Amino acid sequence: MLDIFSDTLQQLSNLSIHKPMTTSNPYTNTLLEMGYDKQDIEVAGAMFQKHTFPCVIHGRSFDTEEQYFAELHDYFNGM
């Protein structure tokens, strides 16, 4: 008799979602092994990319890099 339950479990174990994700970036692989989500890693990495000015970040417009860093400085210092 064919064991449907056993066959279903075998098919589930063969799915790619149960296999560890790997990338060519060793830092991303380490974070994935620590349990971080790949999308969270990509979003966090994008936050630190170099901006070209003028730019808009979360609805705030910055004409120069100096203006951006001045407002960032004020924000971090509670002004």
The verdict on residue 32 lying in a domain is yes
Residue 44 has what pLDDT?
Answer: 81
Q: How many domains does the chain have?
A: 1
The verdict on residue 42 lying in a domain is yes
Q: What is the pLDDT of residues 28-72, one digit of tens each?
A: 888 888 998 888 888 887 777 777 889 888 899 999 989 999 998
**Candidate from 10-14, 24-28, 36-40 with smallest mean pLDDT:** 10-14
- Provide the whole-model pTM: 0.40
Residue 1 has what pLDDT?
Answer: 56
The verdict on residue 54 lying in a domain is yes
Q: Is 56 helix (H, G, I), strand (E, B) or coil?
A: strand
Residue 29 has what pLDDT?
Answer: 86
User: Are 41 and 32 in contact, with CB atoms under 8 Å apart?
Assistant: yes
Q: Which of 69, 76, 78, 24 is nearest to 50 (CA)?
A: 69
The verdict on residue 16 lying in a domain is no
